[in-house]
């Protein structure tokens, strides 16, 4: 996290002191570094530059319009999973033909909208979805480019809630019945079958599952070609892990080598859908201590961010490093704390038994590597306003999503006249 480092004892995002942002915007607030996001994107793109690769950034990781615009300017396409994400991609300036639509539950309305705006590819995940898309496209006199997502039954060796490539998971079609499905799709009107898609999970630390899945896909390409079905594109999904703690995140060059070795000789154009690898380490969540609280057996730091702002620790037992914004605190006494939010459930815990400086009320702290699956998963739980987001570039910074006001939050509800 070079873009988030101490300068003269104060944690900065690039050249901006986080304390300045906290003073003006308040906490909690997400802060993103444009330089970090750009560097991650370039690293990803450069490693794959010798292959015919398109990078469709997975919006689900962070769909702030400013973040998408930043990536659009670098040439990224988008992987979207809802009409909302599709609208965000378009609004941020990603050309429709660079957009891939994934997801197990696309509705007819969503598919019709995607056809109307002319997206590049649908990643179809089931037999019934094939029929519906065929019918809608035919009705509109259009042809939809499709990939069929296969489920290779590979264990991604990651958290069970973010593993997607086992047979029992809801994603894709079983690779063992894939030939039949491709053959049927090839005969359906309104569809142009050109690609196989695969995505086996997120936050993969080992490259072996990627190798297993991509090799299985390569085998399917050969079998389909033998059966007269031409496949000239592959969509290899996202999933590359990042460093949250001590895990060795796989480096880009080794990931690219796995791709080259498994599918490099097929002559297919490749699409990738990275999310976390692009934005994860490009953001932090800035929060303030409300209270330091102690019992006979435990010490707590109660902070003003809650599980509604950053749900990853609560939902996936995820680890986020925590740093004091004022480095001097690190030189002082330390103690072992549970870091918890203000929400009324025990799951609202960011860290257990974490050794930290003895911070006190109003002290600022940063949750590292919160750029992916942070703000996008925020909610109004406990009627807390949606957390704001700030984007920094060099010494410039802007609020790229303002904090929701209480009035806005309450205005969404209606009390019926009959009540």
**Residue ranges that bind ligand LLP, judged by CB under 6 A:** 58, 60-61, 79, 102, 162, 199, 202-203, 237-240, 273-277, 312, 316, 372-373
Closer by beta carbon to ligand LLP, 281 or else 312: 312
CA 280 to CA 370: how far, in whole Å?
6
Structure tokens at 359: 């911070």
Closer by beta carbon to ligand LLP, 147 or else 359: 147
Closer by beta carbon to ligand LLP, 325 or else 387: 387
Instruction: State the virtual CA torsion across 7, 8, 12, 16 in degrees, nearest 10.
Output: -100
Structure tokens at 243: 């460093």
**What pairs with residue 99 in β-bridges?**
78
Catalytic residue, chosen from 344, 415, 417, 419, is 344
Closer by beta carbon to ligand LLP, 205 or else 277: 277
Structure tokens at 329: 């605190």
Structure tokens at 269: 């154009």
**What pairs with residue 326 in β-bridges?**
10
> Which of 36, 11, 8 is closest to 323 using CA atoms?
11
Residue 331 CB, shortest distance to ligand LLP, in Å, is: 33
Q: How many CA atoms lie within 13 A of 24 on its CB side?
A: 12
Q: Is residue 344 flagged as an active site residue?
A: yes
**What pairs with residue 174 in β-bridges?**
151
Q: DSSP letter string over 325-358?
A: SBTHHHHS-EEEEEEE-SSSSTT-EEEEEEEEE-
Residue 242 CB, shortest distance to ligand LLP, in Å, is: 9
Closer by beta carbon to ligand LLP, 158 or else 326: 158
**What pairs with residue 350 in β-bridges?**
none
Residue 59 CB, shortest distance to ligand LLP, in Å, is: 9
Based on its alpha-carbon atoms, the radius of gyration of the chain, rounded to whole angstroms, reads 23
Q: Annotate 34-43 with b (16+ C-beta within 10 A) or e (fewer).
A: bbbbbbbbee
Residue 298 CB, shortest distance to ligand LLP, in Å, is: 27
Closer by beta carbon to ligand LLP, 57 or else 397: 57
Q: DSSP letter string over 395-411?
A: TEEEEEEPPPPHHHHHH
* Residues that are catalytic: 344
């Amino acid at each position: 996290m070079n873009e988030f480092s101490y300068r003269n004892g104060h944690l900065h995002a690039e050249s901006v002191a986080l304390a300045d942002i906290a003073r003006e915007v308040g906490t909690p607030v997400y802060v993103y570094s444009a330089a970090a996001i750009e560097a991650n994107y370039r690293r990803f793109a450069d490693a794959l530059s010798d292959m015919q690769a398109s990078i469709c950034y997975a919006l689900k990781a962070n769909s702030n319009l400013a973040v998408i615009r930043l990536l659009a300017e670098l040439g990224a396409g988008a992987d979207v999973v809802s009409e909302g994400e599709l609208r965000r991609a378009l609004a941020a300036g990603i050309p429709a033909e660079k957009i891939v639509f994934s997801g197990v539950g696309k509705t007819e309305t969503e598919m019709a909208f995607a056809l109307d705006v002319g997206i590049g590819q649908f990643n179809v995940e089931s037999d019934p979805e094939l029929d519906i898309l065929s019918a809608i496209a035919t009705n509109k006199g259009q042809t939809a480019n499709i990939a069929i997502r296969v489920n290779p039954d590979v264990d991604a060796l990651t958290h069970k809630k973010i593993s997607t490539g086992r047979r029992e998971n809801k994603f894709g079609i079983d690779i063992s019945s894939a030939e039949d499905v491709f053959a049927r799709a090839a005969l359906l009107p309104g569809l142009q079958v050109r690609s196989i898609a695969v995505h086996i999970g997120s936050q993969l630390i080992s490259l072996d599952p990627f190798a297993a899945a991509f090799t299985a896909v390569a085998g399917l390409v050969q079998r389909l070609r033998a059966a007269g079905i031409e496949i000239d594109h592959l969509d290899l999904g996202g999933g590359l892990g990042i460093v949250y703690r001590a895990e060795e995140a796989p480096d880009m060059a080794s990931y690219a080598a796995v791709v080259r070795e498994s599918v490099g000789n097929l002559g297919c154009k490749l699409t990738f859908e990275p999310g976390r690898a692009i934005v994860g380490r490009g953001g932090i969540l800035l929060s303030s201590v409300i209270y330091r609280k102690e019992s006979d057996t435990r010490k707590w730091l109660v902070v003003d961010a809650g599980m509604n702002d950053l749900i990853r620790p609560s939902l996936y037992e995820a680890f986020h490093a925590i740093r004091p914004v004022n480095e001097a605190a690190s030189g002082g006494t330390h103690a072992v704390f549970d870091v918890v939010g203000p929400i009324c459930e025990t799951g609202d815990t960011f860290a257990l038994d974490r050794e930290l400086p003895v911070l006190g009320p109003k002290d600022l702290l940063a949750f590292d590597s919160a750029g992916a699956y942070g703000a996008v998963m925020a909610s109004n739980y406990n009627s807390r306003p949606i957390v704001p987001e700030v984007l920094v570039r060099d010494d410039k910074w802007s609020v790229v999503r303002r904090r929701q006001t209480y009035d806005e939050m309450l205005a969404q509800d209606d009390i019926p006249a009959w009540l």
